[in-house]
Structures are given as C-alpha cells and as structure tokens.
Amino acid sequence: MEYVQLKNTDLTVSRICMGGCPMGGYGWGHVEEKELIDAVHIAMENGINFFDTAETYGLGQSEKTLGKALGSKRNNVVISDKFGVHARAGQKTFYDNSREYIIEACEGSLKRLGTDYIDLYTVHYRDGKTPLAEVVDTLNILKQQGKIRYFALSNISEADKEELKNCIGSFCAFQNEYSLACRKNEKDIFEFSSKFNMTPMTWGSLGQGILTGKYTADNVNFSENDRRSRDIYVNFHGDKLKKNLQIVEVLKRIAKEHGTTPSSAAIRFILDYISESVVLVGAKRPSQIADNAEASGWTLFEEELYELLRISE
C-alpha cells in the first residue's frame, strides 16, 4: 500500500481510502452489514488505514457500521467524517454550516462512531451563507476540545477561492468528484492543491461503478432502491454511457497488460496523474475493496496514461 502525509498535519494515510456511502444502506441497492464489516477488515488487512463517512449517509447508519467494524482497532486508523447536510428523519434536508449545527453534528457523529475524536472533520457542502472564517472558528473550538484533530473541505468550486485565500493552512485536504468518467473538476483540483496547500482527495473515483468493467449497455437496469437508476446519474445513461464503455474497453486492455482489473487501472490513473492524491472508493463487499487495493504498488506506462487522457477527454 502507498501512503501520503496529509498537508499541514502529522497524519499519514493510505492513498486508497474506503468510502462509507454504501455503508449507509441507502441508494446503492441491497447491502449486508456483515459484508460491509468484512470489507472494512479486508481493507485493513490490505494496508488501508483511511476511512471516510458522513453524518448524512443513511442518516448516521454508515457511521454506526464503521464504528462497529473498527471496534478496538479504531486508534489504528484515520477517520474522515463529514458534516454540512442537515438531514433528520421527517424533516426537510438543507445545507447548514452554522456553529450550532456543527457542534450538534459533531457530538452525534462521535456517539455513532463510538469514538471520542474524529481525525479529519470535513465540510460536506457549503451552505452559501455562513462565512468560511466563521466555520474555521467553530472547527478550531472543537479542535481545542480534542473532539477533532484536523479539518477539510468537500465539493468546493471557483466560488470558494476568494474566501480560501484567507484560510490557507487551516484546511489540510479537499474532496471533489473526479474519475476517467468525470474530469470536469480537473483544473480546480490542480489549482486548489497547489495554491491552497491541501491534499486532493477524489470521490466518485470509479464513476459510481461504471469503470469497474462490470457493466455493459445491456445490464445497467438497476432496481428502484439504487440511485444509479435515475437519469441524474449520467454515467449509466445515454451518450455518456456509450462514452464510458469506450473508456472501459481501454481499461480492460491496460488491466490485462498489468495482470490486474479495470477498477485497479482506473484508480491507478488518478494516483499517477494527480500526485500525492488520495482516492476514495466505496465498497459493498470484501471482494470489491480487495480489488481496489490492487491499484497500489505499480504505475501506468506513460503511453497508457496518455491514451486514457485522450479517450476520456
């Protein structure tokens, strides 16, 4: 496994981070708690020491499952948890970065995780009204109390750059969507990491699964409880699906050359192309996380990297 030190911290994390969205048990089809827990254990056996979750994943279920899976091994890993999506059963969901909410959200996450600290506390989404400096002040209070160690950002864009100029050094990492199926954030990712001294983390790194090689034009009929059945998940619909399947064919050929899988090759592309990056990948079962771990310890040939850049333009 390859590791990187998060900027402005003493945290050394695996460059492959297990994403916890499927652990929420919502929107990814059928999941089994035992398989999810086994996947966490397999991840650790493969050297993965970095786990990402969020308060909103399954309204806290992801945190509960992760905490249960880690058990006494909690202090051996780095947990990234996210806040900012104010979601409560029976209530309207909205983005919230207020001090009151952040403190409430942190207390709830600590309880569900079964821990007394969160290594990396991440703003899931900006709420469009709370100044970033105010968010930093609240997070520093939690840090002084020992409830969080460091903090990060997620889903940031051009609109956040001006405020970030006054917060350089406060945030150690940021998460944005990025994969061979979605390169729209590429320019921002390179700029944020260099200009604001933050470690880049990518989510949606396998295009919600389309880059695994598992799907064809004939088998993308998802059940109603799988979010990918909706048109908004463009990777599985229309012309975007056709384009993605062309990328998959190249990944299959490259994977065969290296004796690995398309998933591994797709993750390796990000690791090679975005230096010192961390790739978040969700998993519902042990075999998937073991497959993802194969992306570590080798590199793409230069011509393979350029071919993937061309086909995914």
pTM summary value: 0.89
Contact predicate 281/17, CB 8 Å: yes
Collapsed DSSP state (helix, strand, coil) of residue 80: strand
Contact predicate 201/280, CB 8 Å: yes
Q: Is residue 160 part of a domain?
A: yes
Q: Is residue 260 part of a domain?
A: no
Q: Is residue 291 part of a domain?
A: yes
Q: Is residue 233 part of a domain?
A: no
Tokens of 224: 């109603």
Contacts of 177 (CB under 8 A, 6+ apart): 155, 184, 185, 202, 203, 204
Contact predicate 244/216, CB 8 Å: no
Residue-wise pLDDT for 41-98, tens only, equals 999 999 999 999 999 888 888 999 999 999 999 999 999 999 999 877 777 888 999 9
Domain assignment of residue 287, given as a range: 3-209+274-299
Contact predicate 216/243, CB 8 Å: no
**Residue percentage of the chain with pLDDT more than 70:** 95
Q: Hey, which residues are catalytic here?
A: 57
Q: Is residue 254 part of a domain?
A: no
**pLDDT value of residue 93:** 85
Give the separation between CA 201 and CA 204, rounded to whole angstroms. 10
Number of domains the chain is built from: 1
Give the separation between CA 130 and CA 86, rounded to whole angstroms. 14
**Angle (CA) 301 303 306, round 5°:** 110
**pLDDT value of residue 222:** 67
| pLDDT classification of 231: cutoffs 50, 70, 90 | low
CATH number at residue 162: 3.20.20.100
Please give the mean pLDDT across all residues of the chain.
91
Q: Is residue 269 part of a domain?
A: no
Higher pLDDT, 213 or 250: 250
